[in-house]
Structures are given as structure tokens and as C-alpha cells.
Amino acid sequence: MSVNFSAVFSSEQLMRRLETNVHIGKSVFCYESVGSTNDVAHRFAKDGARSGTIIIAEFQTAGRGRNAKKWIAQKGENIVASVILRPTVPLEHLTYLPLLAALSVAQAIEEIVGERTEIKWPNDVLIRRKKVAGVLVETSAQSGTVDYVVVGIGINVNQAEFPDDLAERATSLFLETGIVYDKTMLFVSLMQFLDANYARLTSGDTESILNMWRARCEMLGKHITFYQGDVKREGIAIDIDERGFLKVRIDHKEEVLSQAEIQTIRY
């Protein structure tokens, strides 16, 4: 894997601005171009990188999304980054990490951009119903013990256009507001919220994470269609449970989804 150091995001600057964080951002690696920041993070984690290490790039040549989709972001316009975590929380609390990351993205956008955001379960962040950010959490575990987790985050910041097949569903902060944003400022805010939310998780305060997440999840109470594998189903999204799984009422029975791809929401 070949990687080049970036002149745009600066490791020193980011580490200085994240100095007050408890956990995240004590080591920061900035690149101009990588395959996927998640792949770099996996490699660093296997080599022993400390928890809280950040990998951020200007461009990815093989960015990954959830469900084996590609994540394509125009060079230099967006945030593509991964954080290595070595959580010592109970295994069952790891299911919070995708929600926690999406919540942190939503909070950072609200703080810097001042736009209302919506979270679509489990971890898409939307503005005016269009996706502006996504999260890909990958866990490395051996015999039931978590070695490390990579939290990959992509935010469409200043990208001005999207391919036709995406334009109806995807947007950027620039397209929503007409303002070009300082990516470093937004990223620092994101890492500050992530640090604070991660501290809540490690101290066992999962209830406040869930409540802040629920407050932004407009699909609760709404009719949804969703895919489980190739099977399309529908029901009413009721709530998320104490693990962050989605409770859905289907034909008068309640089911709990640990994984699914939400297709439509009837607002």
C-alpha cells in the first residue's frame, strides 16, 4: 500500500487542537492518498497503534461503505478518516459504536454548520432527507475478545456535484448551505464529540448516548421498508433497544433487527 503525507490536514495541528481530548487524537497520521483509511487503520492497529489513533486522508482510491458498497469522495473536498479504538467495555456495548460515531457526526455538523441533522438507523447522517455522512465500524476479535475496532467516517463537506445515480440521495454541506467549510475545524469538532461520547460509553452511561441518538432519529414511529439480505420487508420502526438494535412492528408482532438496510421511510 503506498501512502503520501498530505499538505492539507496537518498531524501537528490536529494533535494540538485535540490536546484537551481525553482519549482520541494523541497520534494523528495524515495522508494525501490511501486505498482506504480503514485499511491503513487495520494495519496500524495490528502493528500495535495506541487506542485513539487517527488516520485521515485527502483521497481514497478504494473507499468502502457498508454492505460491500464503494464510498467515493472527491479528492480534497471531503472528510475521510478512521479512528482506532481498543475498548475495554463489555462486548455487548460494542454495538453502540456505530450509533455513537453517527451521533458525533450529527453533533459536529450541528455545531459548525448550524443545520438540523437526522440519523437514519443505524448510522447514516442526513440533512433534509439526503445522506451527508456515513460510518463503517469494523471489529477485530479473537476468541470472543475484542482486539481493536476501526471506526471509519466519511462526511461530504465541500463536494459540489454527485454522479447522477447518487444525486437524489446524497448531498454535501456545501450543497445544503452554499458555504465552503474549513474541513479541519469540522474534523476537530467531530473528534471532540467522539471523545466525549466515547468517555460516556466507557463510563457506562449508554442511556444518554441512546437518548441523544433517539432525539435525532426521525424514522421512529414511521412506516419503513428494509432489506434483510435479499428479502424486502416492511413495518413500523418503534425504537432502538438497549443494544442499539432496531425494534420494528411487523404484522402486529415486534421484531428486533441487529442488521438491515433501510430502503424507504414514510415521513
66 makes contact with ligand BTN (CB under 6 A): yes
DSSP assignment of 58-108 equals EEESS-B-STT-B----TTTSEEEEEEE---S-GGGGGGHHHHHHHHHHHH
- Closer residue to ligand BTN (CB): 169 or 249: 169
Gap between the terminal Cα atoms of the chain: 44
Site for ligand BTN contains 113 (CB under 6 A): no
Phi, psi of 186 (to 5 degrees): -65, -40
Among 17, 23, 42, 64, binds ligand BTN (CB under 6 A): 64
Quick one: which of 28, 136, 194, 224 contacts ligand BTN (CB under 6 A)?
136
Kindly tell me which residue out of 50, 69, 116, 232 binds ligand BTN, with binding defined by CB under 6 A: 69
Q: How far apart are CA 239 and CA 31, in angstroms?
A: 39
Q: What would the grid cell of residue 47 be?
A: 502493528
Reduced to 3 states, what is the DSSP secondary structure of residue 52? Answer: coil
**Residue 159 CB, nearest approach to ligand BTN (Å):** 13
Is residue 117 within the footprint of ligand BTN (CB under 6 A)?
no
Interface with ligand BTN includes 82 (CB under 6 A)? yes
Residue list 141-170, contact with ligand BTN (CB under 6 A): 152-154
Q: Candidates 36, 53, 104, 192: give the one binding ligand BTN (CB under 6 A).
A: 36
Grid cell 456515513 in the structure block, residue: 134
Q: How far apart are CA 181 and CA 179, in angstroms?
A: 6
Residues of this chain that bind ligand BTN (CB under 6 A): 36-38, 60, 63-66, 69, 71, 80-82, 124, 134-136, 152-154
